[in-house]
A and B are shown apart, each in its own frame.
Chain A
Amino acid sequence: MQHPIYDDIKIVEFTNFGVGPRTSSYFAAYGAEVVKVESTVRPDMIRGVPPYKGPKSINNSQLYTKLNSNKYGLSLNLKNPKGVELAKRLIARWANVVIENYTPGVMARLGLDYESLRKVKPDLIMLSSCMQGQNGPAREHPGFGIQLASLSGFNYFVGWPDRPPCGVFGPYTDMIAPLYNVLALLVAIDNRRITGQGQYLDVAQYECGVSFLSPTILDYFVNGRILERKGNSSERMAPHGVYPTLGEDKYVAIAVANDQEWNDFCQAIGNPELIQNPKFATLSARVKNDGELDRIIDDWTKNKDAREVMTLLQGMGVPCGVVNNSEGMYHDPQYKHDTRFREIPHPDTGTCLADANPLKLSKAPQVEPVHAPNIGEHTEFVCREILDLSDEEFSTLAQEGAFD
């Protein structure tokens, strides 16, 4: 009998925003059971971030829905010792993985740190993924992905030489850290299968971000050099840039790496004389004269439809891509083909946005997406079906304020 890939994995998450929830979503998409612990008093903060489908409400943030499909929503008041006790019971009896991305010290103050939890679950795998790590002078410094993208080094060299940096878009490092988190968890899970032992994992989002920029770090250590802004220019490709097409704020990106592609490009644009023009005939000449080259290409693209330009050039083996905006992304035929995202049924708003997982495994399909839980949506289910609490136990705990 075939097993869904992660049906032996049971995760309890104490998480906020992007990093923690995206980490567990890799497991939820492939059949793991995930219990998301929040409370009405302390909900996942991303519920407060727009855009909202319909009126602003604690359940309608589409950033929340896209990251939290296929999870059980358990509302637990962790300031109440009864709430903490229930969390511990869930971990002792059911979970084999715990994920948290709070500021260092928070889980310890709640009595839910690794030391406490391994007492009730000796082979527990626990991941803590905070901004800068569990120790060090900056460990408690508050911040989010947008600021961390700056600290990690992604922003300084993005933009134009004649003005201050633009930086990358959004909480960029929030998309990198979860990848390393998932990998660390998979290794720990594999190790536990072999040795029977659990593991605590401390993965700093800052350190994950910096690792993507390793060559620039080596360039500094070895050559004393810092990467600076160059707009859309490249030292090893020309043309390499963004060119306006028909319509408002519509562009294509084009990157030509070698003489063959240059030849094909000039044929495609119906300007074969350009091939041997001494200003552009060689790669070095093209790079040297890239400003003039860009203006020639602007003139050619500006009266054409972006998609037609892309189809023409790619058809000739020349790298070119429509600069998709959000409407373009929604209609992009490759995203459609891959079902990279879907609008799925939601009890309050009719539909909500749900991301699929980026991986495709030939023998393990992703589970059918179910909407991200409304706050406390599965409190009763988790208590009765997973924890086997009796009617009495459940109502007593409710009265005592364990569920908020």
Chain B
Amino acid sequence: MKEQQTPKRMLVGNYRVLDLTDEKGYLCGKTLGDLGADVIKIEQPDGDSGRRIGPFYKDIIDPNKSLFWFAFNTSKRGITLNIETTDGQEILKKLVEKADILVESFPAGYMENLGLDYKQLSKINPQLIMVSITPFGQTGPYRDYKAPDIVGQALTGILCLTGDEDRPPVWSGFPEAYSFAGIDGAIGAMAAIHYRYLNGTGQHIDISMQRSLFPTTYYALPFWTANRIIPPRQGAIRVRPQTNVIYRQHWPCKDGYVTFFFWGGRGVGERSNGAITKWVDSEGIEREFLKSMDWPNFDFDKLDQEMMDQMEKPITELFKRYTKQELYREAIKRRILLYPMATAKDTAESEQLAVRHYWAEIKHPELNTTITYPDLMFKDENAENLSQVWRRAPLIGEHNEEIYEKEMGFSKEEMNTLIGGGVI
């Protein structure tokens, strides 16, 4: 693990980001912060709701110890501010004067009710870029709908496609829908920076989780528009929509699961299919049908179910004999389209990620420890990191003094009033 002195900072420009998001928008500010922007996380005085999301550091339930919060709020400083008070609104406007980007994930209309929508804030700072992240966007029939992940995945169309055919759909198991929205938010912010350079003003970016998550539905909509087919959901077993042939993609192995299937076409598919046939052969597993396949001319659509089953029998036996890592190592050597179904442990132990300097050791002085985090993944032509996580996520109000007193010039007396009055 490398010892980083000064974290690398990819952004040359100096951009200040005011981050008023909750768990629906953290990744936007985090990624901009990891890129080198000056991101100020603004939370209500008792902390963001996201701090209540587990798991927790050593299972100690504490809003300053949520691992979810830690992971998605690196490279941000943190202040508290109650924008539902008139003082709070004034202070936010003061911060807006010198900000480049403001990102928020309140329900559509909330900021407008407080006089803090783009229309008002752009009067204060015409250069301001405001990014709003919501489940379904600022307008439309679902504008006021609430959508935790499972509900968002339902309306997007991805939930229907996930799971086994003989059971109801199943969700992604971990919240991911708003991560798509978060990165789209960061893209919107940088796109608007580009626009601002060309045209001189900021603008409002409307990010919707449903719009951002939609690409994960892949061929679902095309099958409807082209052929009026509703593709079934598929899990470990898949059905090819055109021929209804059932085949396996996730296979049990000695200590877990691997993902593999016969791939059509010349080149990559042909090589992989031939290689696994050879391996099965060398293992002494019964494989007559597999050996008889004409891989260079293999066409998936010409298979029937019986042929598929005959092809899969020896593969099932082969995978039973070896662990995930054994199968993966051989697959790399032999160029077989096989991948382990990784757990967090597999990811942590990945040789590839270690060689790529993927991990950052981030200090947590308040816990008297360092914790290993994924670093920002952009590399240069020497495979060196272009930008790095530069600090851990903030504690509640950690930078109130630094920002309010030192940077904005509030006196101790003013701070006492604001804290006492529940503004900060």
Give chain A's interface residues, CB within 8 Å of chain B. 2-3, 5-6, 8, 22, 26, 30, 45, 48-53, 62-63, 66, 114-115, 132-139, 141-144, 146-160, 163-172, 175-176, 179-180, 182-184, 186-187, 189-191, 193-195, 199-204, 206-208, 210-223, 225-227, 229-232, 234-237, 240-242, 244, 251-255, 257, 314, 317-330, 332-335, 337-338, 340-341, 343, 353, 355, 358-364
Tell whether, in the assembled complex, residue B344 and residue A338 are in contact, meaning their CB atoms are under 8 Å apart. Answer: no
Q: Is the CB of A319 within 8 A of B147?
A: yes
Q: Which of A114, A202, A235, A328 contacts B157 (CB 8 A)?
A: A328
A62/B226 in contact, CB under 8 A: yes
Looking at the assembled complex, report how far the CB atom of B139 sits from the nearest CB atom of chain A, in whole angstroms: 7
State the Cβ distance, B50 to closest chain A Cβ, in Å.
10
User: If the complex has contacts A151-B340, A201-B378, A324-B160, are A360 and B265 also in contact, measured as CB distance less than 8 A?
Assistant: no
Shortest C-beta distance, A392 to chain B (Å), equals 36
How far apart sit A175 and B176, CA to CA, in the bound complex (Å)? 12
CA distance A201 to B384 in the complex (A): 10
- Decide yes or no: A326 and B210 within 8 Å by CB, A156-B257, A158-B172 being known contacts: no
**Cα–Cα, bound, A223→B179 (Å):** 23
B400 CB–A CB distance under 8 Å: no
Question: Which of A167, A207, A326, A364 meets B259, CB within 8 Å?
Answer: A167
Check A255 against B233 for contact (C-beta < 8 Å): no
- Select from chain B the residue with minimum beta-carbon distance to A166: B235
Q: Are B345 and A183 in contact (CB under 8 A)?
A: no
The segment out of B9-17, B87-95, B305-313, B415-423 that lies at the interface is: B9-17
Contact between A137 and B331, CB atoms less than 8 A apart = no
With the chains together, A139 CA to B211 CA distance in Å? 32
Residues of B close to A182: CB separation below 8 A: 187
Contact status of A159 and B221, CB under 8 A, knowing A223-B59, A325-B157 = no
* A133-B383, A164-B236, A199-B380 as given contacts; A330 in contact with B341, CB under 8 Å: no
CB distance B236 to A165 under 8 Å? yes
Q: Are B374 and A217 in contact (CB under 8 A)?
A: yes
- Given contacts A142-B272, A255-B148, A231 and B170 within 8 Å (CB-CB): yes
> Are B171's CB and A232's CB within 8 A?
yes
Find out whether the CB atom of A362 lies under 8 angstroms from the CB atom of B206: yes
The interface residues of chain A lying within 8 Å CB-to-CB of B186 are 183
Count the A-B residue pairs with Cβ separation under 8 angstroms: how many? 488
Q: Are B58 and A223 in contact (CB under 8 A)?
A: yes
- The reply to whether A175 and B215 form a contact with Cβ atoms under 8 Å apart is yes
Tell me the complex Cα distance, A134–B381, Å: 9
Whether A135 contacts B58 in the complex (CB less than 8 A), given A164-B250, A214-B373, comes out as: no
With contacts A5-B198, A191-B12 taken as known, whether A50 is within 8 angstroms of B241 at the C-beta atoms is yes
User: Could you say which residues of chain A place their CB within 8 Å of the CB of B371?
Assistant: 218, 221-222
CB contacts (< 8 Å) of A50 on chain B: these are: 219, 223, 241-242
Contact with B164, one of A135, A151, A163 (Cβ below 8 angstroms) = A163
Q: Are B67 and A212 in contact (CB under 8 A)?
A: no
B250–A337 touching, CB < 8 Å:
no
Cross-chain contact of A323 among B169, B234, B263 (Cβ < 8 A)? B169
Which of B283-291, B348-356, B402-410 interfaces with chain A?
A: B348-356
CA distance A234 to B257 in the complex (A): 24
Known contacts A156-B341, A170-B161; A254/B224 CB under 8 A: no
CB of B344 within 8 A of CB of A236, answer no
Of A139, A204, A361, which contacts B195 at CB under 8 A? A361
**B332 near A: Cβ within 8 Å?**
yes
Contact B155 A334 (CB under 8 A): yes
Q: Of B68-76, B78-86, B314-322, which binds chain A?
A: B68-76
Establish whether residues B173 and A359, one from each chain, have CB atoms under 8 Å apart when the complex forms. Answer: no
- Given the known interface contacts A134-B383, A220-B345, the answer about A51 and B208 at a Cβ–Cβ threshold of 8 Å is no
Query: In the complex, A137 Cα to B236 Cα: how many Å?
Result: 28
Bitwise interface map of B from 198 to 213 toward A, beta carbon under 8 Å scored 1, else 0: 1101011111101110
Given A45-B265, A150-B341, A171-B218, 11 further pairs, Cβ under 8 A: A132-B352, A150-B339, A153-B346, A168-B162, A190-B193, A191-B13, A201-B380, A227-B174, A257-B148, A318-B146, A329-B220
Q: Which residues of B contact A328 (CB under 8 A)?
A: 157, 160
Residue contact A207 to B150, C-beta cutoff 8 Å: no
Contacts of B215 in A (CB 8 A): 22, 175, 355, 358
B110 contacts partner chain A, Cβ-Cβ < 8 Å: no
User: What are 23 of the A-B contact pairs (CB < 8 Å)?
Assistant: A137-B332, A141-B335, A151-B259, A153-B347, A155-B259, A159-B173, A164-B250, A170-B218, A176-B180, A183-B186, A186-B193, A190-B190, A202-B380, A204-B356, A220-B344, A237-B148, A323-B159, A324-B157, A325-B220, A358-B208, A359-B188, A360-B211, A364-B203
Name B240-288 residues within 8 Å CB distance of A: 241-242, 249-250, 252, 256-260, 263-265, 268, 271-272
B352 touches A136 (CB 8 A): yes
Quick one: closest B residue to A147, CB to CB? Answer: B339
B303 on interface, CB distance cutoff 8 Å: no
**Interchain nearest-CB distance for A163 vs B (Å):** 7
CA distance A167 to B216 in the complex (A): 13
Give B244 Cβ to nearest chain A Cβ, in Å: 13
Chain B residues positioned under 8 Å from A334 (CB to CB)? 136-137, 140-142, 155, 210
CB atoms of B356 and A136 under 8 A apart: yes
Q: Which residues of A contact B152 (CB under 8 A)?
A: 321
Of listed B142, B154, B162, B180, residue having the most chain A CB within 10 A: B154
Q: Given A168-B162, A201-B378, answer yes or no on A147-B11 (Cβ-Cβ < 8 Å).
A: no
> Taking the complex as formed, is B109 at the interface, i.e. its CB lies under 8 A from any CB of chain A?
no
A232→B150 contact, CB < 8 A: yes
Q: A183-B183, A208-B377 are in contact. Are A138 and B150 (CB under 8 A)?
A: no
Closest chain A CB from B133 CB (angstroms): 11
Contacts of B150 in A (CB 8 A): 232, 234, 240-242, 253, 255, 321
Q: Are A221 and B348 in contact (CB under 8 A)?
A: yes
Residues of A with C-beta under 8 A to B70:
215, 218
A179 / chain B contacts, CB cutoff of 8 Å: 180, 183-184, 187
Contact among A62, A314, A337 with B225 in the assembled complex (CB-CB below 8 Å): A62
CB nearest neighbor in A for B336: A142
Could you tell me the distance in whole angstroms from the C-beta of B131 to the nearest C-beta in chain A?
10
Instruction: Kindly identify which residue among A195, A225, A241 contacts B55, using a CB–CB cutoff of 8 Å.
Output: A225
**Residues A151 and B342 in contact in the complex (CB < 8 Å), given A231-B170, A244-B168:** yes
Q: What residues on B are CB-neighbors of A362 within 8 Å?
A: 118, 203-206
A169 adjacent to B158 (CB under 8 Å): yes
Residue from the set B184, B207, B212 with the largest chain A CB neighbour count within 10 Å? B184
B7 interface contact, C-beta 8 A: no
Structural contact, B379 and A134, CB atoms closer than 8 A:
yes
List of B residues within 8 angstroms of A360 by Cβ = 137-138, 205-208, 211
Chain A residues near B226: list those with CB within 8 A: 51-53, 62, 353
Q: Are B157 and A166 in contact (CB under 8 A)?
A: no
> Are B206 and A363 neighbours in the complex by a CB distance under 8 Å?
no
Q: Which residue of B lies closest to A157 (CB)?
A: B173
- The answer to whether residues A363 and B191 also contact, given A51-B227, A324-B154 and a CB cut-off of 8 A, is no
Which of B205, B252, B265 lies at the interface centre, i.e. has the most chain A CB atoms within 10 A of its CB? Answer: B205
Q: Is the CB of B221 within 8 A of A156?
A: no
Nearest B residue to A150 via CB reads B259
Decide: A190 and B194 in contact? CB cutoff 8 A.
yes
| B residues less than 8 Å from A171 (CB atoms) | 218
